């Protein structure tokens, strides 16, 4: 068994480390800056996210294999409440589809296997606000997410002639994640809120093991990969100010 780690795997690791450091630094700069009037009160609305995640090396990665980021998406409902002029609590529920893709560079019969796993996420975030102009805010996000798996837990992926096989096994059906993010939010004339954000969610351990086989008849895997579910995403939300509902009721009566 080859014990060398591929060059592209090292590049992916360096890229992810650099991106994490930039997000951490940006959030620190936001939270220590002077804060302004928060967008207070209850707001509820839909959210959409485009995200990307990948596997991780458990022991070593043979030179003939590689893994890259796999795209996914999230759809959900966001609930926010501004407690103080500079602090907001946010929660909600999100359906998230995220996954992995693994390449076998020496296999001409099907050198790519990929799969997405469906999840339910329930976050609890703390949002700190910084004024940039009269109606827009830069917001730092820090929190935790409880994640539960909705998909089939154990799955076998094969190429056409079964010469490249991945056996997926789930070790934890639910797990916590650390949330970090930066948002730009803007209120309209009726105090509804549009939010654009960049988010990073970090799992603390691998909850899925991927056994990689040269063929479907092998008794032992050639090597193993882990999947933590960590991802980077870009999302938008549109949050309705619930005070507008009270105004409509008063007008009606």
pTM for the whole structure: 0.78
Domain 7-252 has CATH 3.10.150.10: no
Mean pLDDT of 130-136: 63
Grade residue 34 by pLDDT with cuts at 50, 70 and 90. Answer: very low
More confident site: 182 or 24: 182
Task: Determine the pLDDT at residue 133.
Answer: 58
Task: Determine the pLDDT at residue 3.
Answer: 46
Give 32-85 as a DSSP string.
Answer: HSPP-----EEEEEEEEEEEEE--EESS---TTEEEE-EEEEEEEEEEEEEEET
Residue 18 burial by Cβ neighbours in a 10 Å radius (0-12, 13-18, 19+)? exposed
Q: Say if CB 171 and CB 138 are below 8 A apart.
A: no
What pLDDT digit, counting tens, does each position of 58-69 carry?
A: 878 888 888 889
For the cut 70, the answer to whether the pLDDT of residue 129 exceeds it is yes
Task: Determine the pLDDT at residue 26.
Answer: 64
Grade residue 187 by pLDDT with cuts at 50, 70 and 90. Answer: confident
For the cut 90, the answer to whether the pLDDT of residue 95 exceeds it is yes
β-partners of residue 220 are none
More confident site: 58 or 239: 239
């Amino acid at each position: 068994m080859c014990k060398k780690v591929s060059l592209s795997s090292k590049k992916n690791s360096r890229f992810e480390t650099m991106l994490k450091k930039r997000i951490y630094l940006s959030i620190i700069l936001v939270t220590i800056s002077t804060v302004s009037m928060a967008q207070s009160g209850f707001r509820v609305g839909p959210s959409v996210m485009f995200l990307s995640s990948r596997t991780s090396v458990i022991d070593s990665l043979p030179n003939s294999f590689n893994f890259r980021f796999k795209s996914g998406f999230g759809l959900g409902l966001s609930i926010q409440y501004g407690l103080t002029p500079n602090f907001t609590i946010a929660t909600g529920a999100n359906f998230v589809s995220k996954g992995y893709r693994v390449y076998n560079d020496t296999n001409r019969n099907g050198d790519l296997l990929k799969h997405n796993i469906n999840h339910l996420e329930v976050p609890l975030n703390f949002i700190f606000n910084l004024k940039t102009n009269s109606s827009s805010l830069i917001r730092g996000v820090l929190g935790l997410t409880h994640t539960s798996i909705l998909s089939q837990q154990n799955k076998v992926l094969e190429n056409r002639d079964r010469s490249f096989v991945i056996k997926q096994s789930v070790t934890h059906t639910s797990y916590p994640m650390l949330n970090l993010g930066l948002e730009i939010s803007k209120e309209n004339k009726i105090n509804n809120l549009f939010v654009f954000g960049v988010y990073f969610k970090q799992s603390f351990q691998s909850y899925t093991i991927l056994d990689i086989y040269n063929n479907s008849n092998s008794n032992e895997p050639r090597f193993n990969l882990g999947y933590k579910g960590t991802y980077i995403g870009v999302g938008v939300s549109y949050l309705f100010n619930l005070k507008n509902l009270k105004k409509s009721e008063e007008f009606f009566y």
